[in-house]
Each structure stands twice: as structure tokens, then as C-alpha cells.
Structure 1
Amino acid sequence: MVIKVERGRPTPEELAAVVALVQARAAAADAEQEGPAGPPAGWSAPARNLPRAMPPPAPGAWRMSAWPGGPA
């Protein structure tokens, strides 16, 4: 990609801002063309936020209540 300045004398900061904007727009366009992303990772899956059955009352049950999938 070539960016050519037709008029004026932009500062290096102004040129950097324009290049960053053009690159961001190009990356966004590429992301749209790729299609939807795959399924969410396990730690961010919405199903992880659903309520789970609590362990039955027993000694040490409070420890098992904090485990993501129950005791292993």
C-alpha cells in the first residue's frame, strides 16, 4: 500500500495517525470478510454462568461448591 501526500506538509505524527487509521480500517474489512468467529473459549462460554447443582450437605462441601465442574 502506498500513501502519497498531494498537498501540504504533514508532520510525522499526522502521517502516523493517517497510516494507523488506514491499517485499522483494512483490518476491520478483512475481519468482516472472514466471517463469524468460532465458538467461544471454555472460560468465556455463556454456559459457564448458568447455575449448577450444589453439592449435597457433607463435611467439606463448601470446598466443592467453588470448583467449576464439581469434584474431579
Structure 2
Amino acid sequence: MGSEGKPFLQIVRGDPGPEEIAALVAVLTARAQAAAAARDGGVAGPPSRWADRSRLLRRQAAAGVRPAGPGAWRASGLPS
């Protein structure tokens, strides 16, 4: 029920089952949340680490470790 006592959603034609009504409510809820997120700037929380493109960048080598290149395999067995 709405705040004025009237129903928020009313089926005026047909005979939908509980699954169909649940699907309709889910779609309307998702659309309302998307509209609210767009009004708020679209930031719902911290960005996902999976979506962070910086993880695809190459990491810097640790201190004291020679970078890969010619002869690096030979230097990897030598003490530093």
C-alpha cells in the first residue's frame, strides 16, 4: 500500500501468476535504483578490483631484482 492508502501497483487486466508479478516488481525496482544512481552521480560504492584496468599493467620489479632481458636467466642464479 502507498502512503495515501492506495495500492502502489495495480493489475488492471489479465491474470498474472506470482512469478510474473515478482518479475515485474524486480524490473521496476532495478529501474528505480538505476535512476537513483544516475541522479547521485552513478557511484554506488568502491570500484570492483575486477573492473580496475590497472591490474593489467606490468608491475615494477622488486628492488635488487634484475629485469628480464638478455642474460637475465644467467644472472638469476648469481648472488646479488
TM-score (norm 2): 0.52
Mark the CA change 1:34 to 1:50 in structure 2 (over 3 Å): closer, same or farther.
Answer: farther
Q: Are residue 56 (structure 1) and residue 64 (structure 2) matched? A: yes
Deviation at 1:6, TM superposition (A): 0.5
Task: Give the partner amino acid of 1:7.
Answer: R
Structure 1 residues 16 and 29, CA gap change in structure 2 (3 angstroms): same
Tell whether 2:27 aligns with 1:27: no
Secondary structure of the residue that 1:23 maps to in structure 2?
Answer: helix
Deviations 1:14-53 (A, max 9, x none): 0000000000000000000001439x56x94655645324
Q: CA deviation at 1:7?
A: 0.3
TM norm structure 1: 0.57
| CA RMSD, Structure 1 to Structure 2 (Å) | 2.9
CA distance in 1 between counterparts of 2:16 and 2:42 reads 38
1:54 Cα deviation after fit: 2.9
Identical-pair percentage: 36
Rounded to whole Å, the distance in 2 between the matches of 1:50 and 1:36 is 29
